[in-house]
Structure 1
Amino acid sequence: MTENNKKGTYNPPLKGVVVLEFCQYLSGPSAGLRLADLGARVIKIENPNKGDLCRILPIKNQWVGGDSLLFHTINRNKESYTANLKSQEELDGIKNLIKKADVLIHNFRPGVMAKLGLGFDEVNKINPRLVFAEISGYGNSGPWAKKPGQDLLVQAMTGLMYASGDKDNAPTPFGLAIGDILCGLQMVQGIIAALIYRNRSGKGVKIELSLFESLLDFQFESLTTFFVSGKKPSRSAVNNAHPLLGAPYGIYECLEGHIAIAMVPIENLQETIACPGLDNYTQEMVFTHRDEIKALIADHLKSRKADYWLTLLREKGLWVMDLKDWKRMRAEEGYQKMQLEQDVNLDNGRTITTTRCPILIDKNRLLSSKSAPLLGKDTDRIKVEFKLKNLQS
């Protein structure tokens, strides 16, 4: 739904597209979430006993209506259809549902869908126009195929942890499930491209993507530098923010608060903050003497509050920013103007606040107040609507 859609003036771009989501946890469901935001009808195919295991995966031990808050966050605006895929009768019902779908997404381990009789070759015979989207940890073949595809473990495999933290710190993981989320978003790109191709050619396609490949692609800037030079990027010993960038790029502690300084010429910075010793360095030295320069700046900025430095630096038009936690960010007029939050109505009468899809289309914000589904909530209705077998669940 969109703001204008309430008045019947706008239809989201994927309206009418039916997506079957055979997914667990984060990567596949995050792809389904964005497709739903863009107007697709997303039906989660879940085990009737446990459902998507994300239902029992808490973040900060927060639960809503018996399911984890994480599940509600990543599965809003979807439907839930339960089926025992080891039952031939229920599997036949799923195959009939596949006949009428446009997209199938799964993130089961390699080989699982084929063993169930739902691999690409089998599904393509059922529905030759279907887009079959498959997410794995490390690809479907090769020596890594059976490794556990969990976000932290994939971060550990890709070298990503050596981009954050200071030189003497231990490897530092992202504080988010970055691999899962990126993989889901990249899968959406592939699915939309495949739908365009399908609409031109009449043929469905198979899309394969792994968490490992997504995180490598995420690092294309740094990896290309490594491929060309053969040298591993060195994290800064002081206030590292990007191992490939020179001084003063980083986060700096002040007498009160912190500031972020981006690409600021050393001479301009020195003219503004009058840092003792900084005038001994030139712009040509920001890489070769990076740590020395940053150490000088770091010591000097601790002498005054962040607001003092920000005022000076902004008056000169230099690229700086104060650091905000989420509470301060939400209080800002600029944040409020973007209307990035939406309320989701739960079945128990409660509401939770979450983010909206950040994309605007013809000035329409893509909103939905529909909550994540209770396990199997939509099974009987979908069976009737799609004329599936075994109408009683």
Structure 2
Amino acid sequence: MPTEANNGIGEQAGKRPLDGLLVLDFSQFLAGPSCALRLADLGARVVKIERPQGGDSSRRLYLADLAFDEDSALFHAINRGKQSFTADLKDAADLDAVRRLVARADVLIHNFRPGVMDRLGLGWGAVQALNPRLVYAGVSGYGPDGPWRDRPGQDLLVQSLSGIAWLSGDGDGPPVPAGLSITDMMAGAHLCQGILALLVRRGVTGAGGRADVSLMETAIDLQFEHLSVHLNREEPMPARSQVANANVYLAAPYGVYPTADGWLALAMAPVDRLGELLGIDALGDFPPGRWFAERDAIKALIRDRLAGEATAHWLALLEPAGIWAAPVLDWPALRAEPAFDALQATQPVRSPDGAALTLTRCPIRIDGEILTSDRAAPRLGADRTAIERELDEGAAP
């Protein structure tokens, strides 16, 4: 059975790898909070440090006007299972309370622009003196140096600046950004990796450490496959395929093609064998050494043939022959698949009054078990009084 997260003080369930760790999450929007969310899924107790007026800005960042328990559904998706401690970091009394928390925390996460935490008295040097065992983690838009350091660190802007948006779309079309905030979420994953590595090192040395990532460095790393080629060849930007573009460096038939009733994705496959299966004799005229150089001509032949029959017809022909192919599903079609149910990929979370919201769950399984927690995101400041009482009483986090 799925196990529930250990988020309460004094609870010693010991069933998750990070049980007993206290994480302070100063971040907002997606990158930092997604990192803190994954630590919470793995058992850590995560306390969001939020402004008394409004809190995390994503509380009001509505997707399709979907709200739940006073805040946006997006806020719950990225902050479920956490606690909320409100503090005005420019107020001496509030800052003192936060510093008391920092002194007892295991991890601190922030995504302020470079220099802001230093001005607040919570920079790396200050907190290291306060808590030498602390793992201090920050995410920025473009790193601590360089002419872009103060630009807005926003996902679409980073996709555009980094070349990611340019990679998608057919050769005669405009750049197409990913439909997800990929640099935000991957930067959060990278930050989580750095934190876990430092926690392992702390277990050996007893000393904390600092991890920093940026959206731009994450965007560059996401393109390692393509950039590794580009950096080692004398070439301009590689050309996107004019037909069914899906990867600027892969040969035909790699791409997504329309069928009579939908779309079919074809991955790497021998073009001559594909021609035999699809009944396209002309594909036999292209030797393997030309499958990249002539990819648009090859793809056009495949495109025209696939358009004549339904997706299921082609799958029944190609899959038994070992050709890597898949239908392009929308969300209702995905949810109707038995494979989706088998993954148990969603979970309900509940507000204090019992209302339920369906969200995705942690994708990691520990010891074969799915990790779920039914706690919704916290209401703004809901846990400050209880946490201050714990600090006064000296209770262990």
- Do the two structures share a fold, i.e. TM-score over 0.5? yes
Kindly indicate whether residue 251 of structure 2 is the aligned counterpart of residue 252 of structure 1: no
The answer to whether the Cα contact below 8 Å between 2:346 and 2:361 also exists between their aligned partners in 1 is yes
The residue identity in structure 2 corresponding to 1:100 is R
Q: CA deviation at 1:169?
A: 1.2
Matched, 1:133 2:137: yes
Shift of 1:104: 0.2
The reply to whether residue 208 of structure 1 matches residue 207 of structure 2 is no
Select 1:99's aligned residue among 96, 100, 103.
Answer: 103
Report matched runs for 1:113-128 at 5 Å.
Answer: 113-128=117-132
- Maintained 8 Å contact 2:315/2:325: yes
Name the structure 1 match of 2:195.
Answer: 191
Q: Give deviations 1:94-133, integer Å, cap 9, x for gaps.
A: 1111111000000011111110100000000110110000
Q: Distance in 1 between matches of 2:126 and 2:352?
A: 37
Match of 1:282 in 2: 287
Output the CA distance in 2 between the equivalents of 1:66 and 1:334: 34
Aligned with 2:232: secondary structure? helix
Aligned equivalent of 1:71: 75
- Shift in Å at residue 216 of structure 1? 0.5
Alpha-carbon distance, 1:5 to partner:
5.7
Q: CA deviation at 1:349?
A: 2.1
Distance 1:321 1:245 in 2: 18
Shift of 1:9: 8.2
Matched with 1:341 is 346
Specify the alignment match of 2:377 in structure 1.
372
**Paired position in structure 2 for 1:83:** 87
Identity across matched positions, percent: 45
The corresponding residue for 2:8 is: none
Distance 1:4 1:299 in 2: 51
Among 342, 357, 363, the alignment partner of 1:358 is 363
1:317 aligns to what?
Answer: 322
Question: 1:149 matched to which residue of 2?
Answer: 153
Match of 2:266 in 1: 261
380-389 or 61-70: which moved more?
A: 380-389
Q: Give CA-to-partner distance per residue, 1:164-220, whole Å, 9 cap, x none.
A: 110011111111111110000110000000001111111111111100001110100
Give the C-alpha shift of residue 363 in structure 1: 0.7
> Would you say the 8 A contact 2:4–2:371 is kept in 1?
no
The CA RMSD over aligned residues, in Å, is 1.5
Equivalent-residue separation in structure 2 for 1:220 and 1:386 (angstroms): 46
The alignment status of 1:387 with 2:386, answered yes or no, reads: no
Q: What's the offset of the Cα at 1:243?
A: 1.0
Which amino acid is the alignment partner of residue 116 of structure 2? V
Q: Give the match for residue 51 of structure 2.
A: 47
On the 8 A contact 2:28/2:58 being kept in 1, the answer is yes
Q: Which moved more, 1:224-233 or 1:120-129?
A: 224-233
Q: Is the 8 A contact 1:93 1:388 kept in 2?
A: no
Change (3 A) 1:381 1:10: closer
**TM value normalised by structure 1:** 0.96
Any idea what the Cα deviations from partners look like across 1:127-174, whole Å, max 9, x if unmatched? 011000011000112211111101111111101112111001111111
SS at match of 1:72: helix
TM-aligned CA distance change 1:4 to 1:373, over 3 Å: closer
Query: How many correspondences in the alignment?
Result: 387
Query: Could you tell me which amino acid in structure 2 is paired with residue 339 of structure 1?
Result: Q
- CA positional deviation for 1:388: 8.1
**Does the 8 A contact of 1:54 with 1:71 survive in 2?**
yes
After the TM superposition, which of the residue ranges 73-82 and 271-280 deviates more from structure 2? 271-280
Matching residue of 1:294? 299
Q: Which amino acid aligns with 1:208?
A: D
Q: List alignment gaps of at least 5 residues for structure 2.
A: 6-11
Cα distance change, pair 336–212 in 1 and its aligned pair in 2 (3 A): same
- Distance, in Å, in 1 between the alignment partners of 2:367 and 2:199 is 21
Which of 173, 176, 183 pairs up with 1:172? 176
Tell me the SS of whatever aligns to 1:193.
helix
Alpha-carbon contact 2:68-2:357 (below 8 Å) kept: no
Q: Does 1:17 align with 2:16?
A: no
1:3 corresponds to = 2
Structure-2-length-normalised TM-score: 0.95
In the alignment, which residue of structure 1 is the partner of 2:228? 224
Contact 2:4/2:373 (8 A) holds in 1:
no
AA aligned to 2:2 is E
- Give the Å deviation of 1:10: 6.3
Q: 1:328-384, CA deviations, whole angstroms, 9 ceiling, x for partnerless residues?
A: 111111111111111111223211111111111111111100100000000000001
1:228-247 pair list within 5 angstroms: 228-231=232-235, 232-247=237-252
Q: Could you list the per-position Cα deviations for residues 24-44 of structure 1 after superposition, in whole angstroms to 9, with x for gaps in the alignment?
A: 111100001101001110000
Deviation at 1:75, TM superposition (A): 0.3
Counterpart AA for 1:189: Q
Q: 1:86 to 1:49 in 2, by over 3 A?
A: same
Q: 1:233: how far off? A: 2.1
Find the counterpart in structure 1 of residue 310 from structure 2.
Answer: 305
For structure 1, the residue ranges without an aligned partner over 5 or more in a row are: none
